[in-house]
Structure 1
Amino acid sequence: MFNFHKDHKKLVIVALSVFVILSIFISVVPASNLQYVQPFPTDEALTEAERAGLNVYVQENCVACHTQQVRGIEMDKMWGDRPSLPSDYYYTKKRLDVWRQSPSLLGSERTGPDLTNIGKRQPGEGWHLLHLYNPRSVVNASIMPSYPWMFEEKDATRITDEDVVVPVPEEYLNEPGKKIVAKPKALNLVAYLQSLKQPEMPGNEDVEFIPSIKDDLDVAQEARKSGGVDGEKLYMNTCAACHQQSGKGLVGAFPPLEGSSIVLDDDPELMLQIILAGYDARSDYGVMPPFAAQLNDEEIAAIANHERTSWGNDASEVTAEDVKKVREYVMEMNQ
């Protein structure tokens, strides 16, 4: 009966049957269950520009180097507030026709950082555009390729009000004096990247990451920094992409913090206002996004203190209470 080597017909039928059964239980049944996944209440559908940017993301094969999945282990905690869930991908999955569905964006390589929460980690449009034009201009050791075809060089006299000018430092321009203008393809891609923000779970339930073993001394040292908040780490994750690890900024793009009169001012109110509400210097530098919704008072105080006491800066420290007062003032001004 099972003498397959003499009966090829039975061999093919059994092999095909096993393949079909396995396909149903491994692929079809799990996929059908995913059809019942619903988005989080705070999540929003992609806009037309964001959807166009998603298509650019796929076309440029960004998924080859970037993931969009936060695993439930502590080393992934830097990429998101919680591990990723099927509902996070509700609006990015789209059936193209009866036979095809949009490609998965989970990714399997982290040649570049995970992008799950990049819209919160790096919300500024100017930074993203500069990074696309020349990644080395903002991240010295970056191996990401440049995308100059998404931009156009223009004379200053040809700039219109509708043009989005990228604050590219002179040293990265092909022709000095030219202005770099973002094309719609670049603007759409940045709009999609800015939309990548982990939505809050209903009820704000905490999903725990699996902890890793840490040296007790390192934990104790970290807890002593800024009342338990590590200002240097927060600065590296939030601010260093623009102002650089050295605090020197980028000439023509992002202002220096080293020796800055605003950072060193005895009265930190203006500095805290800028961190909370953002700053638009128009022609001087790129636009800085606000961080009031992203960082709490303790975290902003820790970042401010790191900036006021690093790179030769020697200014008095601020407290979370100082930040709270400025936050209340900023909120009143915006009402």
Structure 2
Amino acid sequence: MIFLNDHRIFFGAALGLFIFLTLYIAVIPALDNQRINRPLPRQAKVLTKDEWAGKMVYIDNGCVACHTQQVRNVEMDNVFGKRPSIPADFAVNRRTDFWRNTANLMGTQRAGPDLTNVGERQPSAEWHLIHLYQPRAAIEASIMPSYEFLFIERDYLQPGDVEVKVPEKFLKNKRKKIVATAKALQLVAYLKSLKQSDFTDKSIIPEFLYKQEKKDTEGAQGGENLPDGAELFTANCASCHQANGEGVPGAFPPLKGSPVVTGGDLELYVNIIMKGYDPRPEFAAMPPVGTNANFTPEDVTAVINHERTSWGNNAKKVTVEEVKVIMDKIK
């Protein structure tokens, strides 16, 4: 047979088959995906120069090995995003460079939490910097390695330095100032840019599958059925204030025994939750958690009542009506 006897025909046929399969299996489906999966109308903007550099730091340090960026369509993932991820979420991404197509850092392992919406869940740059320098300073049970090499120690701060307020017990030399390097700041800029885009048409948002029935928590006053305050606290507050409410000395203030939590100034309390707080140099700034998480008056009431009755706190619970009046006033 000429096909077997002529090497030019044999290798030409093999090359032709290879090109056909490449086009049919890889190239054409990829082009089709680009055609049918467009960025959402409210898709996050293309990464800035610093955010893109931070993405490179994320890749270089192998963060994708422990963190995913995909909210699966199961209810247990709803703490990581407002909805399940869809192909359009990744349509705005571009190649890392000519040789590497690592635009989508979806990951496969979750040794750490998913980061799809971490820019909204945790918008505080101070928190991220402390967490990178020493994860146990932000989350006591964290298994994440320390990235101290992204920081430098100085005797005195220089103009433009960003100091990281690490609790003293995690400092090797308590006289030194911890300063974030450009790479640390770029990585934090990238993490803060990770925000899940909303659908313009709310009616087409896919629901999470395998839903479990949740019990409503009845408020102490007025018989109100409120969301689970403990669950809201865990999802939005515990990373800084800790599950035991004791915070982190030198970084995040305690809620256990706090005069703000147990006191009678409800307007200040609601303002802090919705608009953030930054009056004390000994602690990192608190971001507007409630605004970022789109808290309703019921959500705020549930969180407040959880904090006022946990960790030995024994303050009077508040009602949705009281909180709603304040939220209407501060809008």
> Normalising to structure 2: TM-score of the pair?
0.88
- 8 A Cα contact 2:67 2:115, kept in partner: yes
**Which deviations, in whole Å up to 9, do the C-alpha atoms of 1:75-133 show, x marking residues without a partner?**
22221111112222233323623x55344311111111110011111111111101100
Question: How far is the alpha carbon of 1:306 from its aligned partner?
Answer: 0.5
Question: Which amino acid in structure 1 is aligned with residue 73 of structure 2?
Answer: G
Name the counterpart of 1:255: 253
Structure 1 distance, partners of 2:93, 2:159, is 32
Partner SS for 2:179 = strand
CA 1:25–1:243: 2 relative to 1, 3 Å: same
CA distance in 1, matches of 2:55, 2:80: 20
d(CA) in 2 for partners of 1:270, 1:241: 22
Alignment-derived partner of residue 91 in structure 1: 92
Q: After superposition, where does 1:176-195 map in structure 2 within 5 Å? A: 176-195=174-193
Deviations along 1:38-96, one digit per CA (max 9) or x if unpaired, are 32222222122111111111111111111111122222222111111222223332362
Q: Could you tell me which amino acid in structure 2 is paired with residue 321 of structure 1? A: E
Q: Distance in 2 between matches of 1:329 and 1:160?
A: 42
Work out whether residues 50 and 191 of structure 1, in 8 Å CA contact, stay in contact via their aligned partners in 2: yes
Q: Within 5 Å, which residues of 2 pair with 1:210-221?
A: 210-212=208-210, 214=212, 219=213
Contact kept, 8 Å, 1:77 with 1:209, in 2: the verdict is no
Q: CA deviation at 1:296?
A: 1.9
Q: Distance in 2 between matches of 1:109 and 1:177?
A: 39
CA distance in 2, matches of 1:67, 1:93: 18
Judge conservation of contact 1:129–1:190 (CA < 8 Å) in 2.
yes
Aligned length: 321
Q: Structure 1 residue aligned with 2:201, among 203, 206, 209?
A: 203
Residues 57 and 187 of structure 2 are in contact (CA less than 8 Å); yes or no, is this contact kept in structure 1? yes
The answer to whether the 8 A contact 1:266-1:315 is kept is: no
In structure 2, how many angstroms separate the alpha carbons of the residues matched to 1:167 and 1:206?
44
Question: What corresponds to 2:167 in structure 1?
Answer: 169
Determine if contact 1:131/1:138 at 8 Å carries over to the other structure.
Answer: yes
State how far apart, in whole Å, the 2-side matches of 1:71 and 1:20 are. Answer: 34
Q: Is the 2:226–2:298 Cα contact (8 Å) retained in structure 1?
A: no
Match of 1:67 in 2: 68
Equivalent residues in 2 for 1:23-62, closer than 5 Å: 23-36=22-35, 37-42=37-42, 43-62=44-63
Kindly, what percent of the aligned residue pairs are identical?
Answer: 45
Q: Which amino acid aligns with 1:73?
A: V
Tell me the equivalent position of 2:306.
306
Give 3-state SS (helix, strand or coil) of 1:202's partner. Answer: coil
Matches for 1:118-157 after TM superposition, within 5 Å: 118-155=118-155
Displacement of 1:27 in angstroms is 1.6
| Structure 2 Cα separation of the partners of residues 59 and 145 of structure 1 | 15
Shift in Å, 1:12: 7.1
2:83 is matched by which residue type in structure 1? R
Question: Hey, what's the Cα distance between the residues in 2 that align with 1:15 and 1:147?
Answer: 49
Which secondary structure state, in structure 1, belongs to the residue aligned with residue 216 of structure 2? helix
Q: In the alignment, is residue 317 of structure 1 matched against residue 310 of structure 2?
A: no
Q: 1:245 aligns with which of 243, 246, 253?
A: 243
Structure 1 residues 200 and 144, CA, compared in 2 at 3 Å: closer, same or farther? same
Residues 28 and 293 of structure 1: CA distance in aligned 2, closer, same or farther (over 3 Å): same
Comparing 62-71 and 320-329, the one that deviates more: 320-329
Alpha-carbon distance, 1:16 to partner: 6.0
SS at match of 1:35: helix
Query: Residue 152 of structure 1: SS of its match in structure 2?
Result: strand
User: What do residues 267-319 of structure 1 show as CA deviations (whole Å, max 9, x unaligned)?
Assistant: 32211111111011342200100022422221111111110110110111122
Query: Is residue 80–residue 116 contact of structure 2 (8 Å, CA) maintained in 1?
Result: yes
The structural deviation recorded for 1:146 is 0.8
State the Cα distance separating 1:169 from its structure 2 match: 0.4
1-structure distance, mates of 2:321, 2:6: 83
Contact 2:78 2:208 in 1 (8 A): no
Matched residue SS, 1:192: helix
Paired position in structure 1 for 2:278: 280
Separation (CA, whole Å) in 2 of partners of 1:21 and 1:162: 56
Q: Is the 8 A contact 1:266 1:316 kept in 2?
A: no
Q: Which residue of 1 aligns with 2:222?
A: none
User: What is the alpha-carbon distance in structure 1 between the residues aligned to residue 186 and residue 13 of structure 2?
Assistant: 50
User: For 2:242 and 2:76, how far apart are their aligned partners in 1?
Assistant: 23
Q: C-alpha separation between the residues in 2 aligned to 1:306 and 1:206?
A: 33
- Paired residues of 2:117 and 2:194 also in contact (CA < 8 A): yes
1:185-233 residue CA offsets vs partner (Å, 9 max, x unmatched):
111111110111101112223433353264xxxx36x223552411001
Question: Unpaired segments of 5 or more residues in structure 2?
Answer: 220-224
Question: SS state of the match for residue 129, structure 2?
Answer: helix
